[in-house]
Structure 1
Amino acid sequence: MPSNDNQVPSSSFASFGRSLFGRREQVHSVEANHESIPLNLEFKSFQDTVTDKFHGLSEVSDDELLSMEWMGKLLDAFISCHEEFRAILLNHKEDLSKPPMDQWTKEFFERLVKALDICNASRDGIEKIRSWQKLLEIVVCALGSQQRALGEGQFRRARKALMDLALAMIDEKESGSAFSHRNRSFGRHNSSKDPRSAGHNRSRSWSVSRTWSASKQLQAIANNLVPPRGNEITATDGLALPVFTMSFVLLFVLWAIVAAIPCQDRGLNISFSVLRQYSWGIPLISLHERIIEESKKRERRNSNGLMKEIYQLEKCSRHLTDLVDSVQFPLKEEQKMDVENILKELAVVCKAFQEGLDPLERQVREVFRKIVTCRADGLE
């Protein structure tokens, strides 16, 4: 799908800071200057749901942030908020086509269409991780056998798999590999056991050009996403407020997905425009700042993704590659211990991928379906 290159109006999170988080109970769900505007209890309940969901997500430790488990909770939060929001749309569908609500409705559904590209790109990103996982398992199998002493043959096999892994990850970062040529449909599964063939065994029911950019797609979704003014809230009987809230939740969740999972032309330089007066904005501000800090701390702006398990994979494979390249035979006891320790870390990463990738993919699929369903409701 073509990307919109328009930029988002610049507005930094820096002026808000984490100190605002302590004022959560003092912040209302409507603009402070328009507290006299009556807010439908259904709308207020939705604002509270969003606040509670993302407040819980923002309370995790730095070690948990951006892990596959946390990503799963993020997508669950989105699905929960989306279901409540969809009920609001269905309950007020006769108002969606009335000015000025019709423009808010139109822009929201346009963002939903753009979001589908990112869902597909992240789905392919998960498939890339699976290909890395298979190469990692070869390394663990080659060096992890307890039935015989480690010899040159096992190290040659491990070195070959590590080189293939390094090349695969470089390809994803710099050339996009075969995955950038065409995205796979959500309705098909790749049955090939060869990780290198994954990019060539795809449904052609969905395509993304080689120039498609996740960063630009996020910018297109964020374009013109500004809070409703008081007169707009009044003119729409408050309905513009939940539409703006869900639009921003959609943008943030997609931004976090692109930050964590390998996507074509990733980028975190998206600017958000959100006011302190929204209680749900405070945990989102906190999460945005923490993710940005994490990307700077790891100095991985051009990495495959900020997902915790990807970072562990990169770190362990790099250390093991250095060790494999420096060993001399027969192995010294100290070298054996180093290999064993790194293999234990790699085994943990492999297990995390084995247990976490399938559930994460199912959740991405579910987000995709929810978006399609909501878009279909809009067309009706």
Structure 2
Amino acid sequence: MSGSSSVFRAAFQGLSYPSVFHNRSSSSTIYPANHDNPKLDAFESHVCEELRRLEECGNYLSADWLRQALDVCLYVHSMVEENFPHIGKNSKWVNEHLEDMVKLLDICNALRESMSDIKQYKVELQLIVHGFQGCGPIGARQLLRARTALGNFNDPSAKAKEASEGKSRLENCSSMLRRMGERLVAPPSDAATASGGAAFLEPIYASKALMVFVCGVLVAAISTKSKRHLPQLCAGQTAWACSLQTLHHKVKEEIEKGRNKGTTCTLLYELKAVDSSSRSLYDLVNKLINSKSVPPNESQALELRQSVQSLRNCISELESGTAPFERQISEIFRVLVSGRMALLDVLSYS
């Protein structure tokens, strides 16, 4: 992550901006300057470029897109400490920001717990898939064990109970993010404030707005609630804020499409694929047992093994897609703690 952090630090040192993600073009969009300070202009231009790339990626509810979005959050947060010595004594705005950092830490903890739930879900399904391994014929006991285990994931009452257990955690996250989004207030911009130090609050403000947005998308993607909403953002009229609003609108449209279907499944593509594949395998096993086709004939055995393989592939895609999340969320937590301590330290000596 130190390499990622250097990307934005380079902008504040007047260095060229290297490519961070794969498949990026070497050219960069030039955004109009809004500040007298070239470092702040460079920051804004780079944030706009990252948001544009996220917008062009599409598939906003995929693990790959969320991974890139979380990386952008880390890039921005990794350099905001550069601005702390310049912010002066904007006590009211800064104090509110410090309070919001505590809320974001709580949200990170809740998201880490949710990621652990997903990991446990994946492990339990892997055990079911493992039970079908072997070259011998599939017997009645094997099918009955699989039906019982899969039934825990596919029975409506069991799913409702599981959803309710994790619902309050994500609901709290969603509520906190919604309130933070509604209360986002641009930093003071008048030159008299803190001897012009207000301009250096803009990167701090951008980092918080981006964090609220990306965490909101992640919560909406992994929630099992049928009503999912992104936090509204009032980020101002700067170039990066307009880019963020455009991206927010497109992601919101994709979430609304899934929400309008009234599904209680998650919207995260890879997790939804696992749920669907698990359901298909459960239905097939149940059909074989109810029809007393045990052991299954050659055609049925082939269909069963194909269904098992499909679930195995979906689990593998979920694992590779979401594995970085836990590390990224932990790193965001660390950066938030470090940033809050550094900000308090600067304020105590200002």
Please state if 1:289 is matched with 2:279. Answer: no
Corresponding letter in the other structure for 1:285: Q
Please state if 1:338 is matched with 2:300. Answer: no
- CA separation of 1:303 and 1:367: change in aligned 2, threshold 3 A: farther
Q: Please, what TM-score do these two structures have when normalized by structure 1?
A: 0.71
**Within 1, Cα distance between the matches of 2:254 and 2:127?**
30
Please state if 1:214 is matched with 2:173. Answer: yes
- CA separation of 1:342 and 1:80: change in aligned 2, threshold 3 A: same
**Within 2, Cα distance between the matches of 1:278 and 1:342?**
51
Counterpart of 1:80 in structure 2 is 75
**Within 1, Cα distance between the matches of 2:311 and 2:244?**
33
RMSD over equivalenced CA pairs, Å: 3.1
**Within 1, Cα distance between the matches of 2:323 and 2:344?**
32
Counterpart of 2:151 in structure 1 is 163
Q: Is the Cα–Cα contact under 8 Å of residues 221 and 267 in structure 2 kept in the other structure?
A: yes
Q: Is the Cα–Cα contact under 8 Å of residues 222 and 267 in structure 2 kept in the other structure?
A: yes
- CA separation of 1:341 and 1:292: change in aligned 2, threshold 3 A: farther
Please state if 1:68 is matched with 2:29. Answer: no
- CA separation of 1:321 and 1:158: change in aligned 2, threshold 3 A: same
Counterpart of 1:12 in structure 2 is none
Alignment partner for residue 272 of structure 2, among 299, 307, 311?
311
Counterpart of 2:92 in structure 1 is 103
**Within 2, Cα distance between the matches of 1:301 and 1:316?**
19
- CA separation of 1:211 and 1:278: change in aligned 2, threshold 3 A: closer
Higher relative contact order (CA 8 A, sep 6+): 1
Counterpart of 2:25 in structure 1 is none
Gaps of 5+ in 1: 1-23, 31-37, 181-209
Corresponding letter in the other structure for 2:275: E
Q: Is the Cα–Cα contact under 8 Å of residues 281 and 304 in structure 2 kept in the other structure?
A: yes
Q: Is the Cα–Cα contact under 8 Å of residues 187 and 205 in structure 2 kept in the other structure?
A: yes
1:158 positional shift: 1.2
Higher helix share: 2
1:211 positional shift: 10
Q: Is the Cα–Cα contact under 8 Å of residues 69 and 356 in structure 1 kept in the other structure?
A: yes
Corresponding letter in the other structure for 1:294: E
1:241 positional shift: 2.5
Aligned residues: 309
Partner-residue secondary structure (3-state), 1:280: helix
- Which 10-residue stretch deviates more, 303-312 or 360-369? 303-312
Please state if 1:273 is matched with 2:273. Answer: no
Alignment partner for residue 186 of structure 2, among 208, 227, 244?
227
Q: Percent identity?
A: 27
Q: Please, what TM-score do these two structures have when normalized by structure 2?
A: 0.77
Gaps of 5+ in 2: 1-27, 346-350
1:347-366 → structure 2 map (5 Å cutoff): 347-366=312-331
Counterpart of 1:11 in structure 2 is none
